[in-house]
Amino acid sequence: MTLNYYLLPNRFDSEARDYTTKVRRARVYDLDAFITEMVRYHSTHTEADFHGSFKVEMATAIRLVQDGCHINTPLYSIRPTLRGRVSVNGASLPPLVANATISPGPALRAAMNSVEIFRLPTFSAERSAPLFYVDDRTHEVNKIITIGGRGQLLGERMRFDPSDPNQGIYLIDRESGAALQVETGGSIDPARITVLAPAGLVAGKSYIFEVRNILDASGDLRIGRLVYDVVAQEPT
């Protein structure tokens, strides 16, 4: 087992001698692909078996964490958290937001200690990597974008500078190639961006998500695309 990594120049100081490291992503596994991989190594279990077990595990973990419990397993640990500030009189503005944090368990940490680490010979030329679009209305993943609605674009290295008109989130019309810049809501996080779907999308048309940003001190504009088309749909 080997982790390949590359160097990223210091984006704040082009003259700096130190660099940050980034592990090169080998592949992204969604649940179906992950279960298919499990079946390869446990042939006595079917995909339906694993899907059923996962649903039970997920439902149980969510219920316990919602109730304030911590879960510690060999693979992972989960604990509930709160985000927000409370004033001296007990008021919370804005309201507190409940969340959860997941960290590696002892078995995973021990296993990672035995992994070989290899530095790739070149600096990163990677782009942003949008991986999933979740439509807030339908909860469909990488399938639907609701016209005038909201959704979550999930991925890696997606942060961009909103003051730069060349950077941002775009929807590309699959048929014509026309690009439509998309507004965002909330913070612009490298791994998660709230998308405000334009009202001008055409129902039934296919669009491609595109992230345009600058990742390092070189100033080069890089473009990453979601590999799945999303189809515009009127809200019902």
| All structural domains of the chain with their residue ranges | 2-122, 126-233
CB 102 within 8 A of CB 71: no
Q: CB count, 10 Å around CB of 212?
A: 19
CB 227 within 8 A of CB 130: no
Q: How confident is the model at residue 124 (pLDDT cuts 50, 70, 90)?
A: low
Higher model confidence: residue 212 or residue 219? 212
Q: Is the pLDDT of residue 125 over 60?
A: no
Share of the chain above pLDDT 90, in %: 55
Average pLDDT over residues 154-161: 88
d(C-alpha 164, C-alpha 88), whole Å: 40
Q: Is the pLDDT of residue 204 over 90?
A: yes
pTM value surpassing 0.85 = no
* H/E segment holding residue 141: none
Q: How far is CA 58 from the centre of its chain?
A: 19
Report the topology of domain 2-122.
HU Protein; Chain A (4.10.520)
d(C-alpha 4, C-alpha 120), whole Å: 6
Let me know if 155 is exposed, middle or buried by CB neighbors in 10 A (0-12, 13-18, 19+): buried
**pLDDT, tens only, 54-102:** 999 999 999 999 999 999 999 999 999 998 877 767 665 677 889 999 9
Average pLDDT over residues 121-135: 75
Average pLDDT over residues 12-41: 77
d(C-alpha 122, C-alpha 100), whole Å: 37
Token couple for 169: 């989130």
Higher model confidence: residue 186 or residue 122? 186
Q: CB count, 10 Å around CB of 160?
A: 22
Residue 99: per-residue pLDDT? 94
Q: How confident is the model at residue 116 (pLDDT cuts 50, 70, 90)?
A: very high
Q: For residue 63, give the 3-state DSSP assignment.
A: helix
2-122 matches 126-233 in fold: no
Single-letter amino acid, residue 93: L
Average pLDDT over residues 98-123: 88
Q: Is the pLDDT of residue 9 over 70?
A: no
Tell me the average pLDDT of the chain. 87
Residue 196: per-residue pLDDT? 95
Higher model confidence: residue 40 or residue 229? 229
CATH class of 126-233: mainly beta
Residue 8: per-residue pLDDT? 66
Rounded alpha-carbon distances, angstroms, from residue 72 to 10, 81, 92: 36, 15, 30
Residue 103: per-residue pLDDT? 96
